[in-house]
Amino acid sequence: MTYSGFQIRHLSFHGNDRKPAIVSFQSGLNVVYGASDTGKSYIVEAIDFMLGGKGPLPDIPEAKGYDRVLLAIAFDDRSETTLLRSMAGGQFQAFEGLHTSIPDTAGSPLGEIHNERDESNLSSFLLSKIGLAGKRIRKNARDDTQALSFRNLARLAIVNEEEIIQKRSPLSDGNYTANTANTSVFTMLLTGVDDTALLSRQGTSSEEQKRLAQIDLLDQLIAEAQKRITSISGSRDELSDQEDRLAKAMDNRAEQLAFTEEKFKKISTKRRTFIQRLETTNERYTEIATLLERFNLLRQHYGSDYERLVGIREAGSFFSVLEQEVCPTCGASPDHHDSTAVCHGDVAVTVLAAEAEMQKIEARQSELITTMTALKTEAQSIEKSLPNMKNSLRELSIEIETIVSPDLRKQRATYKELADKGANVRQALGLFSNLSDLTSRKAALERQNDGGSNDAASSTRLTSTVVAPFSELVESVLRQWGFPGVDRVHFDTNAKDLIISGKPRTSYGKGLRAITQSAFTISLLQYCADNDLAHPGIVVLDSPLLSYREPDSADDDLSETNLNGNFYRYLLGLGSNRQAIIVENMDPPSDVELGDRVIHFSGMIDEGRFGLFPH
């Protein structure tokens, strides 16, 4: 194997009726910096995507209207190729030459998935260009091998802002089942020897075959669990902390929710009481109106009867002054009148009866008037109270509908959201526990099959002797950068990670993890190029100097050091056959002359370039 890398010249985005968004790069150092949300990290994602990463590209508002991407690449053999791909993903088209506009002619199709039996895919094309075509790497404890894919190399050259601070080995992508393959790729780059000559172990006993079958099943279960875990945001420790925070938040929210529900219950009960009172009052008012209407008819009836009786009395008085004539009732002549006999037509008796009846009617009329007066007074009182009751009811309804109910719904929704998040976190932690159990069982089976060596076979090639020169280079790089407290750097072949001054790399704060991850990635490029070993020839780092302004702790604060400037000065010394693309939020140091190697996204319409896409 010999070093024969490539370099990115242009990255451009295209769409109908949209001005192309183009970013150009040169050999050696390239720096993209500027305001947040201007598309800097999108460049990293797009480069990875155009080198075979899975699609689609993230859907961001600034990219609306763009649907295709071009990546122009210059290879060490002096050939030039431009790759075209839909932003939705899928296969590629390859065109000769460097293009920033979509060619009119059709390109050569390249599949997006590596296939060792069909070389018409991007991975095979890139591997052939850098001298790694047809290579194989070890993938498990049984010494089974798989074809090398360019994606196995890409993760060692392109590090996004999430990966750069992860608490795990630079060789690990979080997928336990891929650790053996990742280690084999690293070993191949350091030694120049792949695993083609490695033979799978044969002639196993029936017991060992059973264990191998169990390992295969566990591999499938682990892969499935790992696939689900990759969709989870955060590590196991972060999820545990998140679970604790969610539990506390749910307790606080439950108290608030209980208070609001009690308030809602009280106001609702009060409103129901007002509604019942209003209904009862309205029914009484209707009843009074009906009674008054009936009593008016009764009063008219009493008046009519009274007037009739008055007429009888007046008529009787007229009869008393008339001469005696034939009795109008019985027809007796005056000579036969008997003053002692009771006659049905006795006018005096009739008058007396009429007067007695009049007295009764007068008494009843008096009672009726008193009753009607009381009812009218009650009706007037009800008429005065109804508006106040309706206003009070309206105010309670408004309070419930505009304040209490929305607040209650919001709190219930928030509580449900927290509960759902808690359930998701518990489920995620369950996946981690399940994965830990599966990997432990697999490790136990592998120890039995390997005679207690576990993954020793895969580690035999990655020895301290092999990795020592690389570790020395990392130490030299960190010293040149001014990394604090560098004493000695060595690579732990068991942890598959750097030990810096006796301290595991993963035990540093996230800022220093970002810097040491960057040192690992850049040193690997330098080591391979200096020793004429195969490597893609580029590194792409997102936010490597995060700690400079965002320290995790006092030990993580490098603001008083010149590491920032030393970092860029070192990269300015990269050979012309190597390329580094650095994406940062912070401005490059003023004491380092970067010239045209800097691309600045201002985030302001009237100042320079706004961002990746035209604003």
* Size (the chain), residues: 615
Task: Report the pLDDT value the prediction gives residue 457, as an integer from 0 to 100.
Answer: 44
Tokens standing for residue 136: 């194989």
Q: Where are the domains of the chain?
A: 6-231+461-601, 242-442
C-alpha distance from residue 237 to each of 129, 243, 321 (Å): 42, 10, 124
Dihedral sign computed on CA atoms, order 91, 97, 101, 105: negative
Q: Sort strands 489-492 and 497-500 into parallel, antiparallel or unpaired.
A: antiparallel
Residues with pLDDT less than 50, the chain: 203, 452-459, 548, 550-551
Question: Comparing C-alpha atoms, which of 582, 510, 2 is closest to residue 235?
Answer: 510
C-alpha 115/C-alpha 557 separation (Å) is 46
Whether domain 242-442 has CATH 3.40.50.1100: the reply is: no
Q: Taking a C-beta distance cutoff of 8 angstroms, is the pair 13, 68 a contact?
A: yes
pTM value is 0.63
Helix H or strand E encompassing 307 = helix 236-321
Q: Is 478 exposed, middle or buried (0-12, 13-18, 19+ CB in 10 A)?
A: buried
With contact defined as beta carbons under 8 Å apart, do 485 and 556 qualify?
no
305-353 residue pLDDT tens = 888 888 888 877 776 665 556 666 666 676 666 656 655 556 777 788 8
Long-range interactions of 239-243: CB distance < 8 A, separation 24+: 239/425, 239/428, 239/429, 239/432, 240/429, 242/425, 243/422, 243/425, 243/426, 243/429
- Assess contact for 583 and 43: CB atoms under 8 A: yes
Q: Which residues pair with 96 in a beta bridge?
A: 81
CA R_g for the chain: 48
Q: Report d(CA 4, CA 76) in Å as an integer.
A: 5
Q: Which CATH superfamily is domain 6-231+461-601 in?
A: P-loop containing nucleotide triphosphate hydrolases (3.40.50.300)
Encode pLDDT of 31-68 as tens digits: 999 988 899 999 999 999 999 998 889 889 999 999 99
CA dist 611 and 615 (Å) reads 8
